[in-house]
Structure 1
Amino acid sequence: MSCPDCFRGAVLEGEPTGVIAQSLDGAYFASGGASNKRAIIFLTDIFGLPLKNSKILADSFAKHLGCDVWIPDLFAGALPSLIRNRPPVAAARTSSFVKKLQAEKKYERLGAIGYCFGGGVAIHLGATTDLFNSIVLAHPSPPSDAQLKAIKAPTAWACAEDDMAIKQPRLNEIEAFYESRKGKDDFVEYDIKVYKAHGFAARPNFAHPDVKEGFEKAFQQAVNWFNKTIPA
């Protein structure tokens, strides 16, 4: 799912410093050092790999977390299209990529962070596979109740105050669902924070102070979550 805000926003300053790994399906690779204890799979918004924002963010996560960050090509080299590339389709590509990556790198733990469309991919994979040990969702596509129930990995949510994808009543239901499982065997650790307009985490317009603040806080929320749930 996408929305009008997915097609607004700004381009981050700077240039990516990672590389394209042709042997791994053309994924972008930001090195965080020699350790294979953990790595992050970065799932992009609808703009995919061509927009440099995701690559710059991956570089920054690699630096702050001290681990490798990979961005698979959710759209298989084609122009992004929600018609040809629904989250389940992109999720199948991502699953194939992760299995290929793990056969080569053998990371002990994997985290996933998904932005908007990529958040929907992370939700789908979290609900249908055990690929990830920790998940962060930034203004994601909305989950179904069945998906929420099926996700076993600790999950952090960086949501938007004004978001057509997940409106406040639905966000309240999501939080209530997590709360209802506290103290039970199926409880999943979670963290929900609400920032400003949709898109703040991936394509922030720093001319708006509240958007800049949301971007910075959501980035730190993700860093803190991964350090807590899949520590180095």
Structure 2
Amino acid sequence: MACEHCTQGYIVPGQPQGKMVNGAYFHPAPQGSTTKSRAIVVFTDIFGLPLKNCKLIADALSSRVGCDVWVPDLFEGKPPFTTDELVPILPDTGKPDDRMGLLRKLRLILLGLSRALRLYRARPAVVDARAIAFLKSIRKERMYETVGAVGYCFGGALAIRLGSGNILDSIVVCHPTHRSLSTIQAINIPTSWVCAESDTSFTKDLRDESERIFAARKNKPEYVDYEFKDYRGTVHGFAARPNIAISGLLEAYQGALEQAGAWFDKTL
């Protein structure tokens, strides 16, 4: 059983100020914004819309960039895991030296097996199609000229996959989960990378190779703008669910938000 302290440190303070629109969370551009032609979409981590952090991120980006921000329901109301189930097993987002021992790995495997059907329903073929349909619908209904996406963990991998499909204009990728070099090589739009110091998914070797892929395009027709920023003292997940009880984690979380906001100001 997870104790209160196992999960509460991962909930960002504050109350969402947006609203639900056709199953998605929506925060409109602040009053007085000079443009309605661009929008940002937040691709959540595996916890989906029930974890309010993604809504607070949307609120903050809407205020920072001055545009509409959407958070679609990638899992149609059934995220594969809850924070109470998964967070106590995962490495602490503020402790780079926190390693998953054998017992925690076994617990993760057993939990995954118990959620096999939900995980199957969240496979890329399903989620990608769902996200593309959502992006097409808001472009058509709201007549956005440019749309960017910021993805966290599970959503980071989704942003990478959609970074080559001519459906988005710019992406921010925050400590992504499962992805391959081939999908990274296929990205053809401006991309900003938010990188944790310790990440068993987006490892340092993979992070460095990804940067080499983008750097190798310099002075070539396929070049796209990019940046990689590393946040010391952090672990996979910090930009989506920081343990703010640990010194420096709130600042890293806020830094990742500012990085995303500045990137969209530059590229959308």
Moved over 6 A (4+): none
Partner of 2:168: 132
Q: 1:48 to 1:77 in 2, by over 3 A?
A: same
Give CA-to-partner distance per residue, 1:4-53, whole Å, 9 cap, x none.
Answer: xxx9961111111101002xxx0100111463221001100001001111
Aligned pairs, number:
220
Q: Counterpart amino acid of 1:217?
A: G
Task: Give the counterpart of 1:30 among 5, 27, 30.
Answer: 27
Query: Structure 2-normalised TM-score?
Result: 0.78
Pick the structure with greater CA Rg: 2
- How far off is 1:145 after superposition? 2.2
Check whether the contact 2:217–2:223 (CA below 8 A) recurs between aligned residues.
Answer: yes
Distance in 2 (CA, whole Å) between partners of 1:12 and 1:59 is 12
Aligned to 1:208, the other structure's residue is in SS state coil
Tell me the distance in 2 between the aligned counterparts of 1:139 and 1:98. 22
Q: Does 1:222 align with 2:246?
A: no
Task: Please report the TM-score for the alignment, with normalisation by the length of structure 1.
Answer: 0.90
Aligned twin of 2:157: 120
- Counterpart of 2:62 in structure 1 is 62
- CA 1:9/1:164 → structure 2, altered by over 3 Å: closer, same or farther? farther
What are structure 1's unaligned runs of at least 5 residues?
1-6
Matched, 1:111 2:148: yes
The structural deviation recorded for 1:147 is: 1.2
Unaligned 5+ segments in structure 2 are: 1-6, 81-117
Where in structure 2 are the equivalents of 1:181-200 lying within 5 Å?
A: 181-195=217-231, 196-200=234-238
The answer on 1:206 being equivalent to 2:244 is yes
Q: Is the 8 A contact 2:154 2:178 kept in 1?
A: no
3-state DSSP of counterpart to 1:203: coil
Percent identity for Structure 1 against Structure 2: 45
CA contact (8 A) 2:9 2:244 kept: no
**One-letter identity of the residue aligned with 1:152:** N
Superposed, which structure 2 residues align to 1:59-98 within 5 Å? 59-80=59-80, 81-98=118-135
Asked if the contact 1:9–1:199 (Cα under 8 Å) also holds between the matched residues in 2, the reply is no
Cα distance, 1:166 vs. partner? 1.1
Give the letter for the 2:158 counterpart: V
Q: Distance in 2 between matches of 1:71 and 1:61?
A: 11
| TM superposition shift of 1:113 | 0.3
In structure 2, distance between residues paired with 1:56 and 1:211: 16
User: What is the Cα deviation at residue 172 of structure 1?
Assistant: 1.0
**SS state of the match for residue 209, structure 1?**
coil
Instruction: Give the Cα separation in 2 of the matches to 1:11 and 1:187.
Output: 38
Residues 79, 218 of structure 1: alpha-carbon distance in 2 compared, 3 angstrom cutoff = closer
